[in-house]
Amino acid sequence: MGKNDVDLYIENLDVNQQEWIKFFVNYMRENHPDIEEVISYKIPTYKLGTGSMRNYIAFSASKNHFSMHSMDFEYILLLKDKLKNPGKGKGCVNIKYSNIDERNVIIDAIEDVINRNSLRTSK
């Protein structure tokens, strides 16, 4: 099987970045294989809904931290209260690579964003 765009993206990261992105990409692939995986805005993105119900979950890696992105801005604000140093972006939270224990918070957040989106689109 050939490498897709997300796998190629991961290959170009440093070791810390690769480890964090792989963790969450693998989580999405194993637990949500039905959600479309693409590269959007040059980062791994998982599309939730379409049109006016469009949302997404995306992951990026910078030099010092991992970020989870979503258009569920209300939830991102709630999530920022659960993290030690979540950053200032409107549609994302940041986690320093040394805060590996916060991965579980992001796993819960992924599930919450997916469930919130499902509820919103089923109305």
Provide block-wise average pLDDT over 10 residues at a time, the chain (123 residues): 81 95 98 95 91 86 95 92 88 95 96 87 60
Which pLDDT score, from 0 to 100, does residue 2 have?
53
60: CB partners within 8 A, 6+ apart: 21, 43, 44, 66, 67, 69, 92
pTM of the model as a whole? 0.91
Which pLDDT score, from 0 to 100, does residue 117 have?
87
Total domains present in the chain: 1
User: Could you give the count of Cα atoms lying within 13 Å of 50 in the half-sphere of its Cβ?
Assistant: 2
Which pLDDT score, from 0 to 100, does residue 4 have?
87
In the three-class reduction of DSSP (H, G, I as helix; E, B as strand; rest coil), residue 78 is classed as helix
H helix or E strand, kind and range, residue 83: none
Which pLDDT score, from 0 to 100, does residue 123 have?
54
Which pLDDT score, from 0 to 100, does residue 82 have?
93
> Measured between alpha carbons, how far is residue 120 from residues 18, 35, 37, 38, 101 in Å?
33, 16, 21, 22, 30
Instruction: Report the CATH number that the domain containing residue 66 is assigned in CATH.
Output: 3.90.1150.200
Domain boundaries, position 55: 5-121
